[in-house]
Structure 1
Amino acid sequence: MPVHEIRAFNRFYTNLIGALDYSKHLYTPYTLTESRVLYELAHAPRTDAADLRAELSLDAGYLSRLLAKFEREGLVERAPSALDSRRQRITLTPRGREAAALLDERSREAVNAMLSKVDPADRARLTEAMRSVREILRQGGAQEAARPALREPGPGELGWIVQRHGALYAAEFGWNADFEGLVARIVADFAQDHDPYLERVWIAELDGRPVGGVMCVRDDAPGTARLRLLLVEPSARGHGVGRQLVDVVVAFAREVGYRELVLWTNDVLASARRIYQGAGFTLVAEKPHRSYGADLVGQDWRLSLQEGIVR
């Protein structure tokens, strides 16, 4: 076993990305560990302290001190979990979200700067080599299978949502361009006018590639949110990505004070309907319709949330 080669690679890469130089980590005041905690708080579907500790393999005392520091700096708020009062829910404040967004932007800039020094002909080989390292070590039990990271869409990824919906639904159900046009209008409306406190889009990323997405927007009914545009790439299905995306919408809707979450889908989307049922949604109405070049049965689903008032 070439242990020395692996250790040499570890030394090379940590030096390359500046992981050991806290004063220069992405040119922010946060250490690598602090940055990772902020990342998880901004992207993970569940943000209880116990979940953070398990996900990042951190000592409970160290994590508690780190969160106390974030609280003093106005980056996080801590409160008992709505689902289990024995657990502590951690949420980012607006200032905390700004800090997490800055870290994400700086990280992307750092990677782009590193790649700019790599010959374009070698970039595909580099990314494939990195993917191979992860896959081989996971198969060998060195790490659990990757869990998609949930994050806000980057530049061009709202367009990716439209493109993938159009392509996948045409390939899998034979739907025509009317459906892609509907998705384009939904995405355009969100991009042009949305409340960032009450409405969000998430992208599921795995191995550096988007593999899914979902949207939460305000509905016409007061106190009601609508789940829209759930999508999971075929290559990522069967690994809980869809449930992860639905869970983050439910958690978000509860957190900001919606009283009810609703969605509309079609009966042919069997996998999605099973996810909705598993999350507690109830089918409340069905109606046949002719859309997207197909005869379909539209379905309305709803989920009652905790009592609260949308701010």
Structure 2
Amino acid sequence: MAVQEIREFNRFYTNLIGALDYSRHLHTPFTLTEARVLYELAHARRTDAADLRVELSLDAGHLSRMLSKFEERQLVTRRPSEEDARRQRIELTKQGKEAASLLEERAQEAVGSLVGRITPEDRPRLTAAMRTVREILHDDHRVTTGPRVILRVPRSGDLGWAIERNASVYAAEYGWDEGYEALVARIVADYAADHDPEREGMWVAELDGERAGCVFCVRDDAPDTARLRLLLVDPAARGHGIGGRLVDACISFARQAGYRDMVLWTNDVLAGARRIYQRAGFELVAQKPHHSFGQDLVGQDWRLVL
């Protein structure tokens, strides 16, 4: 039954988005695979040919021919990697960036047209269902004997849990006082009272069925800017890549929602979180000492161009 349902869904969705005729669908000269490569190059800070091949599950010969075609059209440059001369560093040229930008613009328009046919009441249900499909298949297509991690949308009790665990963890590990708990409570209360599910979201990570972490994506005061808030991984659940998956979910949502930038504020003592942000492509743009939560801290502003 599951196999047949998945095959039926694949046929339905492929026909819906016109993926079998990608160039006509978005009025571009690129095939679906070429568009995927351009997208990866446009959104990755540094990309080697080997990384592209693994990330997109492409045949090495096919990828090499495609990159040669891109070079002929002056869309990319190839050179030996600084870290390993045996690897090729691939970068978009100005023309390549323009082509990728045009693809992104037309893809957004196409999906926006599709979403426009869906009632506002059904859109949150649709996006939640699609996230669930990705999360389940992302986990289950790898056969492992280790703990099972999933990300899900919030349920009753999750907001209260986010407040309690943030306060408890930071008090235990960094000595932060009730001022931090008050800040978290205000952030969560504002989200609960008035958030747009198409532009803001919360994700809860579970490890073997138990809450293990969370993160929020909310609108920033700056135009077209999303703000990542309250990233938390429970100490007992660390070491399973949960923080990275939560941040990736936040970034993916922000891109789909049409934001151009994502920002966040953290403190320099949170070294583990900073490493996650750096791996995701965030860049430090400002830092300033402050006294908060009963401690002398250095606050940091980070930014990611989406």
Letter in 2 for 1:274: R
- Tell me the alpha carbon deviations over residues 51-88 of structure 1, each in whole angstroms, 9 at most, x when there is no partner: xxxxxxxxxxx3xx42232466x7x8968543279969
CA distance in structure 2 between the partners assigned to 1:170 and 1:272 by the alignment = 16
- Report how far residue 32 of structure 1 moved: 4.5
Superposed counterparts of 1:1-311, under 5 Å: 32=2, 62=7, 65-70=8-13, 81=36, 82-83=39-40, 95=122, 98=125, 143-305=144-306
Q: Report the Cα offset of residue 235 of structure 1.
A: 1.4
TM-score by length of 1: 0.59
Seen in structure 2, the aligned counterparts of structure 1 residues 66 and 242 have a Cα distance that, compared at 3 Å, is same
CA 285–208 in structure 1, closer or farther in 2 if over 3 Å, else same: same
> 2-side partners of 1:97 and 1:194: how far apart?
12
Note the C-alpha offset of 1:150. 0.9
One-letter code aligned to 1:293: G
Aligned pair in 2 of structure 1 residues 173, 154: CA closer, same or farther (>3 Å)? same
In 1, Cα distance between equivalents of 2:254 and 2:219: 10
Distance 1:101 1:258 in 2: 19
Contact 2:124 2:198 in 1 (8 A): no
Report the Cα distance in structure 2 between the residues aligned to 1:149 and 1:227, rounded to whole angstroms.
19
**SS of residue in 2 equivalent to 1:246:** helix
CA gap of 1:71–1:191, structure 2 versus 1, over 3 A, is: farther
- When residues 233 and 283 of structure 1 are mapped into structure 2, their CA distance, relative to the original with a 3 A threshold, is same
> Paired residues, what number?
210
Seen in structure 2, the aligned counterparts of structure 1 residues 276 and 101 have a Cα distance that, compared at 3 Å, is closer
Instruction: Give 1:207 deviation, angstroms.
Output: 1.2
Instruction: Render the CA deviation track for 1:117-157: whole Å, top value 9, x for unaligned.
Output: xxxxxxxxxxxxxxxxxxxxxxxx97343442111110010
Letter in structure 1 aligned against 2:125? E
Q: Following the alignment from structure 2 to structure 1, what is the Cα–Cα distance between the partners of residues 207 and 252?
A: 21
Q: How much has 1:101 moved relative to structure 2?
A: 5.8
CA contact (8 A) 2:170 2:176 kept: yes
Partner of 1:112: none
Gapped runs of 5+ residues in structure 2?
A: 23-31, 43-51, 58-106, 132-141
Distance (Å, rounded) in 1 between the aligned partners of 2:124 and 2:13: 12
1:164, CA displacement in angstroms? 0.2
CA change 1:99–1:226 in 2 (3 A) is closer
Cα separation, partners in 2 of 1:147 and 1:279, compared to 1, 3 Å: farther
CA contact (8 A) 2:154 2:204 kept: yes
Any idea what the Cα deviations from partners look like across 1:200-228, whole Å, max 9, x if unmatched? 00000121111000010110000110000
Counterparts of 2:4 and 2:217, CA distance in 1: 28
SS at match of 2:223: coil
> Aligned partners of 1:181, 1:34: CA distance in 2, in Å?
50
Note closer, same or farther for the CA distance 1:33–1:233 as it changes in structure 2 (3 Å cut). Answer: farther
Q: Is the 2:232–2:243 contact (alpha carbons within 8 Å) kept by the matching residues of 1?
A: yes
Q: AA paired with 2:300?
A: Q
Paired with 2:190 and 2:159, the residues of 1 have a C-alpha distance of: 11
Change (3 A) 1:103 1:83: closer
Q: Indicate how the Cα distance of structure 1 residues 102 and 303 shifts in structure 2: closer, same or farther if over 3 A, else same.
A: closer
Paired AA for residue 67 in structure 1: N
CA distance in 2, matches of 1:164, 1:207: 18
Distance change >3 Å, CA 214–CA 71, structure 1 → 2:
same
- Which whole-Å CA distance do the structure 2 matches of 1:197 and 1:103 have between them? 13
What amino acid is aligned across from residue 204 of structure 2 in structure 1? I
Q: Distance in 1 between matches of 2:130 and 2:259?
A: 29
Distance 1:206 1:181 in 2: 27
Q: Which amino acid aligns with 1:210?
A: R
